[in-house]
Amino acid sequence: MKTVIVTDSTAYIPKEVRERYHIEMIPLSVVLNGETYEEEVDLTAEQFYEEMKLGHKLPTSSQPSVGRFVQLFERLGKEYDAVISIHLSSGISGTYQGAVSAGKMVDSIKVFAYDSEISCMAQGFYAIDAAKMAAEGKEPEEIFARLDELKASTRAYFMVDDLSNLQRGGRLSSAQAMIGSLLNIKPLLHFVDKVIVPFEKIRTRKKALNRIFDLLGEDADKGIPLKASIIHANREEEAKEFQKELSQKYPNVDFSISYFGPVIATHLGEGAIGMTWMLK
C-alpha cells in the first residue's frame, strides 16, 4: 500500500525536512490584530514574535476546517492508497477530530488519523519516523505500532513565563484554585491523558529548567539511545547553550532544537521553553 504522512503545522517541522521526507502539512491559524494567518504558510514564528512586541491584544488560534482536510485528502488520493494524519492532542484542539470527520467523507484514499496526545516536535518526531517507514513501503498497521511505541516512551515537560495566556485560552486543565496558586510561580507543565496539567510547583525559571534536565537525566542515564528536542518560544540562544551542555553530558541522546510557533505561542507566550525526549 502506498502511504503518505500528513501532520499539522504545530509539529513545527522545518519545510526542508518535510520536503526531504515527503511529509504533507496542514496549517492551523492565528487571528492577530483582526487578520487571520495560516502559521508556517503566511506567518513565521519570527514574524509572530515581532508582531507581539507591538502590544496587540492576545491573538486566538483555530484548527483547520474539515473542508480543508477533505481537499488535502482528495488531492493525496490521486497518488496514494492511504494517509496517516498525525495531529496535536485531541485534548487541546479539534484538529484530530477534523481529520477523522474528513476521512469519513473521502473515498479515494484510506484515512487513518492518529492522535499524538501531545504537540510540537514530539509530534514532529512521530511524523518523521512514520514518513521514513512509509518510504520503506511499511503498512499503516506497522507504522501505527511504531507510533504507539514512540508515544509510550515520550516525555515532555515545559514551562511558561506567564500562565495567564494558557489559562485564558482554556488550555490548562486544573481546578481554578490550583491555577490561582500557580500564577506567580513557574510550574512545570506536562500532558496527562491528552490535556495539560501542572507537574510540579517550582518557584524560579532556573529551578524549573534544572528540574527538566534532572528528569531527562533519569532516562538518559539508563544508556539507551534517545532523541530529544529543546523547544523554545523565541529563546534560541538559551536553547543552543542547553543543547551544547546536555550533548556533552549525554552522548547517547541526539539533541535538536525546535520552536513554539504562532499557534502554540498564542497559548504559551514568549519565553516558554520545554523539552521532549523519546526512544531513538
Give contact residues for ligand MYR (rule: CB under 6 A). Answer: 28, 61-63, 92-95, 118-120, 122, 156, 158, 171, 231, 263-264, 267-268, 274, 276
Among all residues, whose Cβ is closest to ligand MYR? 93
What's the CA gap between 46 and 14, in Å, rounded? 13
Residue 28 C-beta: closest distance to ligand MYR, Å: 6
Closest distance of CB 66 from ligand MYR, Å: 13
Closest among 132, 179, 160, 114 to 280, alpha carbons compared: 132
Residue type, 125: F
Query: How near is the Cβ of 190 to ligand MYR at its closest, in Å?
Result: 8
Query: Per DSSP, which regions of the chain are E strands?
Result: 3-8, 23-26, 29-32, 35-38, 60-62, 82-87, 110-115, 155-159, 188-192, 195-200, 226-232, 253-259, 273-279
Residue number with CB closer to ligand MYR (94 or 217): 94
Specify the residue, 7 or 276, whose C-beta has the smaller distance to ligand MYR: 276
> Cα separation of 278 and 256, whole Å?
12
Q: Report whether 212 contacts 274 (CB < 8 A).
A: yes
Residue 141 CB, shortest distance to ligand MYR, in Å, is: 27
Instruction: Specify the residue, 110 or 178, whose C-beta has the smaller distance to ligand MYR.
Output: 178
CB of 119 to ligand MYR, least distance (A): 4
CB of 39 to ligand MYR, least distance (A): 10
CA torsion, points 189, 55, 50, 170, in degrees to nearest 10?
Answer: 30
Residue 3 or 95 with smaller CB distance to ligand MYR = 95
- Give the contacts of 33 (CB within 8 A, at least 6 positions apart): 51, 56, 57, 59
**C-alpha to C-alpha distances, 136 to 18, 165, 189, 203, nearest whole angstrom:** 16, 42, 36, 48
Q: What are 232's three cell numbers? A: 523554545
Q: State the minimum distance, in angstroms, from the CB of residue 277 to ligand MYR.
A: 11
Between residues 3 and 115, which has the closer beta carbon with respect to ligand MYR? 115
Q: Which is nearer to ligand MYR, 28 or 208 (CB)?
A: 28
**Best CA proximity match to 140, nearest among 279, 276, 277, 4:** 4
With 0-12 CB in 10 A as exposed, 13-18 as middle and 19+ as buried, what is 214? Answer: exposed
Q: Output 80 or 157, the one with its CB closest to ligand MYR.
A: 157
**Which residue from 16, 13, 35 is spatially nearest to 25, judged by alpha carbons?**
13
Q: Report the nearest approach of ligand MYR to the CB of residue 6 (Å).
A: 16
* Residue placing its CB nearer to ligand MYR in the complex, 82 or 263: 263
User: What ranges make up the beta strands (E) of 130-186?
Assistant: 155-159
